[in-house]
């Protein structure tokens, strides 16, 4: 469990794919419906809090001497403290995987799996993710390294290819409805970005040390992954239409053409979407299994989590109430949970008086 399996560069790649799915897919409809035309400003402004958040995470990383967070708590405090935190974080990462899979199913049903039963799509995709999780962290990172260049290439294609369809005057005027919606939108943007704290659960497996400058650069890239499709949606569809869309990043693919004869390139977005969802689910349940195993080897934990995931994702839940749940419960609770738990960890570190090696 404590073998050095991956390099620091793998962490930056995982950050882009894991958290990129959140800021590029899940949070976009929430941001547009909340901040409307000012949503792009929320994404731009989120670069400041994500930088501060990475500074805070890096501070904790240095204080726990490159251990992962659960190992540190297990060694520094009583067994019950470790168990409580392990179960809380395990449940948190299980919910992340469930939300990701559920949203992916809604999208696939709306676009290309109309006649396929939900449980078939859920089971097949979950089995693929299970294979990756079971193979371990190194396998997840290797796959992430292979698919990231293709995901980036497709992103550049849709961003640059749709320039003729963009009207940048649609971005203005700003603060048309005051500042309240902007700050609400900024909160939703930050809720998606605070998930980068997952790296604290992987640091014991990293060869070498994480660098602050690369973490900050990754944070800016993540803010850009939210900023780009928000600007694209507003400039291509207008703020009124964009806020009605459930998957604005996907809808931008429908406008893309190459010349006069090559159209309907939105099939390329399937690779983008499933790549992000695959890494996010595989890694989430890998960490969740690590938490629920309570620092021991229990091979039944991971398959049990995937069985629960398949059952939970197959339960009927209409998409309208699901989006309502995300906006009014999941995103606010996620933000409060992440900040509160890491502040509590920070307090525990201070009380223990742990100092990092120089």
Q: Which of 56-60, 71-75, 140-144 has the lowest mean pLDDT?
A: 71-75
Contact 28, 226 (CB under 8 A): yes
The pLDDT tens digits of the residues spanning 293-339 come to 876 667 889 999 999 999 999 999 999 999 999 999 999 999 999 99
Q: Is the pLDDT of residue 94 over 70?
A: yes
The whole-chain average pLDDT of the chain stands at 91
Following DSSP, what letter does each residue of 147-165 receive, concatenated?
HHHHHHHHHHHHHHHTGGG
The pLDDT tens digits of the residues spanning 239-296 come to 999 999 989 989 999 899 888 788 888 888 999 999 999 999 999 999 999 889 876 6
Span 22-33, average pLDDT: 94
**How much is the pTM?**
0.93
Q: Is the pLDDT of residue 67 over 90?
A: no
Burial of 204 (0-12, 13-18, 19+ CB in 10 A): buried
The pLDDT tens digits of the residues spanning 120-156 come to 999 999 999 999 999 999 999 999 999 999 999 999 9
What is the C-alpha to C-alpha distance for residues 247 and 239, in angstroms, rounded to an integer? 14
pLDDT bucket at 356, cuts 50 / 70 / 90: very low
């Amino acid at each position: 469990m404590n073998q050095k399996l991956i390099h620091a560069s793998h962490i930056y790649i995982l950050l882009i794919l894991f958290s990129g799915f959140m800021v590029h897919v899940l949070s976009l409809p929430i941001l547009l419906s909340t901040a409307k035309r000012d949503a792009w400003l929320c994404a731009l402004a989120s670069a400041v809090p994500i930088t501060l958040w990475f500074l805070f995470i890096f501070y904790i990383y240095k204080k726990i001497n490159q251990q992962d967070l659960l190992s540190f708590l297990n060694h520094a405090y009583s067994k019950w403290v470790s168990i409580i935190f392990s179960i809380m974080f395990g449940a948190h990462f299980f919910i992340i995987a469930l939300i990701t899979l559920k949203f992916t199913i809604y999208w696939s049903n709306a676009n290309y799996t109309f006649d396929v039963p939900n449980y078939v799509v859920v089971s097949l995709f979950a089995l693929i993710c299970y294979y990756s999780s079971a193979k371990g962290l190194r396998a997840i990172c290797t796959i992430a390294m292979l698919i990231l260049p293709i995901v980036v290439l497709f992103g550049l294609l849709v961003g640059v290819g749709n320039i003729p369809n963009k009207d940048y005057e649609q971005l203005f005027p700003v603060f048309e409805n005051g500042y309240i919606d902007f700050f609400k939108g900024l909160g939703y943007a930050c809720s998606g970005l605070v998930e980068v704290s997952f790296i604290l659960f992987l640091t014991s497996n990293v060869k070498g040390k994480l660098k602050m400058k690369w973490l900050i650069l990754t944070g800016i890239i993540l803010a850009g992954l939210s900023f780009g499709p928000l600007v694209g949606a507003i400039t291509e569809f207008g703020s009124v239409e964009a806020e009605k869309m459930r998957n604005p990043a996907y809808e931008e693919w429908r406008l893309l053409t190459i010349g006069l004869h090559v159209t309907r390139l939105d099939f390329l977005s399937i690779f983008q979407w499933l790549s992000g969802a695959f890494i996010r689910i595989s890694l989430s349940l890998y960490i969740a299994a690590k938490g629920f195993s309570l620092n021991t080897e229990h091979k039944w934990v991971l398959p049990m989590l995937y069985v629960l995931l398949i059952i939970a994702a197959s339960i009927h839940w209409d998409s309208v109430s699901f989006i309502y749940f995300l906006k009014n419960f999941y995103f606010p609770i996620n933000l409060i949970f992440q900040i509160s738990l890491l502040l509590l960890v920070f307090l525990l570190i201070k009380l223990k008086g742990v100092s990092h090696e120089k």
